[in-house]
């Protein structure tokens, strides 16, 4: 078995685990608007697919993985103007991640890896703050590859790199591969492209999807999404997560 699922185990099964070479993986997403065709939990679905693919790749490196129950709530101010979005405060997000790092350190885990699919800048700031605080507290390594960084973004799709990638081809493809029954296909196929770049809008000081040019909370080319592209993207996301963990463990001497 390449990985365990923490939430489905009994306490006696958990007691018998040797966590010294075990990486706990936390899928992190958001409950927010993803166009008229994708579910509010799109980021959670992507994060869970990334986590499972990463766990498989860690197993190939001789590391055990432990999948934690997903964190579905986070700071999502860009989408707050849309019904269905549930955004919590940035400080709460940081506190949750830091507390998990503390608890897993006490259990003797090798690292806490964040499989993150939510790219709102406020959320990314909360994750980075938790990483800093975990290092200062000398907790286990908290690994969270930021997909907006060129190192990782260069390995993802052209749409992703353009910044026009919220509920477009990139995210739609992953949901089609992981949870196709949740895609509103008739609506998706009828959507016109929206090439407005979120990354450009963020650099320009925009704070909401509406300001960024997304009145229906989607950016990119949703009608072009395919399950095949989604499967390939999931594989790449798993590679990114496993590589980031392996690099961190090697640098910390825990590998």
Nearest 5°: phi and psi at 26? -110, 110
Hey, what are 226's tokens?
């395919």
Q: What is the pLDDT of residue 109?
A: 95
Q: Are 107 and 9 in contact (CB under 8 A)?
A: no
Quote the CA–CA distance of 113 and 101 in Å, as a whole number: 10
Q: What is the pLDDT of residue 21?
A: 83
Q: What is the pLDDT of residue 76?
A: 98
Query: In a structure prediction context, what are the per-residue pLDDT tens digits for the chain, which is 255 residues long?
Result: 568 899 999 999 999 888 888 999 999 999 999 999 999 999 999 999 999 999 999 998 889 999 999 999 999 999 999 999 999 999 999 999 999 999 999 999 999 999 999 999 999 999 999 999 999 999 999 999 999 999 999 999 999 999 999 999 999 999 999 999 999 999 999 999 999 999 999 999 999 999 999 999 999 999 999 999 999 999 999 999 999 999 999 877 655
Please, is 56 exposed, middle or buried when counting C-beta atoms within 10 Å of its C-beta (0-12, 13-18, 19+)?
middle
Q: What is the pLDDT of residue 156?
A: 98
Number of domains in the chain: 1
Quote the CA–CA distance of 230 and 238 in Å, as a whole number: 12
Minimal CA–CA distance to 125: which of 161, 92, 157, 80?
92
Domain range enclosing 161: 3-252
Q: What is the pLDDT of residue 251?
A: 78
Q: What is the pLDDT of residue 18?
A: 86
Nearest 5°: phi and psi at 24? -85, 130
Quote the CA–CA distance of 80 and 75 in Å, as a whole number: 9
Quote the CA–CA distance of 138 and 235 in Å, as a whole number: 32
Q: What is the CATH number of the domain that holds 205?
A: 3.40.50.10310
Q: What is the pLDDT of residue 16?
A: 87
Q: What is the pLDDT of residue 202?
A: 96
Hey, what are 48's tokens?
């869970």
Note the pTM of the prediction, 2 decimals.
0.96
Q: What is the pLDDT of residue 233?
A: 98
């Amino acid at each position: 078995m390449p990985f365990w699922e923490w939430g489905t185990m009994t306490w006696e099964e958990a007691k018998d685990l040797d966590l010294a070479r075990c990486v706990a993986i936390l899928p992190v997403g958001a409950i927010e608007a993803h166009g008229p065709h994708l579910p509010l939990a799109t980021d959670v679905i992507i994060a869970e697919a990334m986590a499972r693919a990463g766990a498989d790749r860690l197993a190939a490196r001789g590391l055990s993985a432990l999948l934690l129950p997903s964190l579905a709530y986070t700071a999502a101010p860009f989408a707050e103007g849309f019904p269905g979005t549930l955004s919590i405060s940035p400080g709460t997000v940081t506190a949750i991640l830091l507390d998990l790092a503390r608890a897993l350190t006490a259990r003797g885990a090798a690292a806490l890896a964040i499989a993150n699919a939510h790219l709102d800048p406020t959320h990314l700031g909360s994750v980075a703050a938790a990483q800093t605080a975990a290092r200062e507290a000398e907790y286990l390594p908290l690994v969270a590859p930021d997909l907006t960084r060129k190192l990782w973004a260069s390995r993802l799709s052209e749409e992703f790199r353009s910044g026009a990638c919220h509920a477009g081809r990139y995210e739609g493809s992953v949901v089609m591969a992981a949870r196709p029954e949740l895609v509103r296909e008739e609506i998706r196929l009828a959507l016109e492209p929206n090439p407005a770049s979120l990354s450009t809008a963020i650099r320009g000081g925009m704070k909401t999807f509406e300001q960024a040019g997304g009145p229906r909370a989607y950016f990119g080319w949703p009608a072009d999404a395919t399950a095949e592209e989604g499967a390939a993207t999931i594989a790449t996301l798993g590679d990114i997560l496993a590589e980031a963990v392996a690099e961190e463990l090697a640098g910390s001497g825990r590998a």
